[in-house]
Amino acid sequence: MPVPELTDKLEQALADFDKGVRYIYKQDEFEYRNDPTAVTGADSPVVETMSIDRDGWTPGVLEKIMWDRRKGSEQRQQWKRKQERVKRRLEGQEVSDSTTSYSGSSSESDIRVLGLNPGPFTLDGTNTYVFGNGERRLLVDTGDGEQPEYFDLLKQCLGGSRIDRILLTHWHGDHIGGVNRLLAMPEVVTPDCAVFKHPDPVDARDDVRAMLAQAVLQNRLRGITDSQLFAVDDIQLQAVFTPGHTDDHMAFIVTSDSFAKERLLLTGDLVLGRGTTIVSDLQRYMESLKTMLDTRPSALLPGHGPIISGSDGETPNAVRVIEGYIEHRNLRERQIIAVLSGEPPEAPPMPRNGGWRLEEVAAAVYPEITDPKVILAAQHNARLHLDKLVSDDKAEKRLGTEPAVELWALRDRQI
């Protein structure tokens, strides 16, 4: 690899970063383009698009790297630091992360298309996935529907092919928000394109109904059941019911004869490529994590963040990440039990009856959190664990007086 030439080009790319440059890394050259939706031609060699995400290269990924000035100087500095890490990699310096690899599958029949909707809960944006290499393709998730550039990028990724099935992992708007617009694009979807989603009472909510309106109106909406199979060319996707992030959440096991030794797991939002996810029901979430772990995947295709692949010794990083998610939640539970084992603060309501307020538990478990919005999220997580402890018959709710408020205590703790 001609490192000096690549470094010179990267320096120029860094200088042009404010212009919304998209970087495309190829095996023998590094090039950058001011056209953010430009992609290489069909006759080009395998393209590896640079993800300014820690230290890796993801084959088949087509991403738009954007800088939004409104995000402020803090995010700008964060993106620059990430680019510096990529620069060090080009210069031959080792920049590694033991739980993350960007190698993906060995097939060219699956492409990750970034939804171009970065944010505090979407990370770099929603990952959508295109499967297949023929005229009819399969798409998993659709982005939030609010980024016109995403649909342009998806169209270019497809070349002359079209999507004939859309699978939705769950009801959140950053995953299903693009359904209506896609169904209105005959150059992108086939006339018989069907939309698949696990049915759930949430589908009756006004916002969800609006995002699925065209699928319902055109009689294209179908259900997904656990273990249901979807095939496109030589690729098979098997649905795995994994509630916990939401009640309707589906993951997909991806296998193919073209990468027979690999077993990919498209995780939706149950497991992310970086950080942890939001949980609605911790009991079911933990059960779903164990279900995912039992599939023993070789790589994870998350709903947000980088693809996780590779291995550390004999154990795939994908397995280690799922194990890490389980241990993270178990650790939080142990921490909360330790808090409830102590004496509660001497503060209203009185008497305490041996119980702790939710806010006190969260503050004790997350002492480093000071941002008010993040504190609310921490309290939400603490409540999930407390509810699970009650469900497991390890804790109970007690009513405090003056004023009346919920208190939490270990079941065997004496008043």
Q: What is the pLDDT of residues 117-130, one digit of tens each?
A: 888 788 888 999 99
Q: Which amino acid is at 310?
A: G
Give 102's pLDDT tier (boundaries 50, 70, 90): very low
344 secondary structure, DSSP code = P
Q: By CB neighbour count within 10 A (0-12 exposed, 13-18 middle, 19+ buried), where does 85 fall? A: middle
pLDDT of residue 403: 62
Q: How far apart are CA 154 and CA 63, in angstroms?
A: 10
Q: Cβ neighbours of residue 104 under 8 Å, at least 6 residues apart?
A: 58, 59, 60, 61, 110, 112, 299, 301, 307, 309
Query: What average pLDDT score do residues 10-18 get?
Result: 44
Q: How far apart are CA 7 and CA 319, in angstroms?
A: 35
Residue from 78, 62, 161 nearest 114 by CA = 62
Q: Which amino acid is at 232?
A: V
Q: How far apart are CA 327 and CA 330, in angstroms?
A: 5
- Bigger pLDDT: 413 or 237? 237
Pick left, alpha or beta for residue 32 (phi over 0 → left; psi -120 to 50 → alpha; otherwise beta): beta
* pLDDT greater than 90 at residue 104: no
pLDDT in tens, 378-403: 899 999 999 999 999 999 988 776 66
343 secondary structure, DSSP code = P
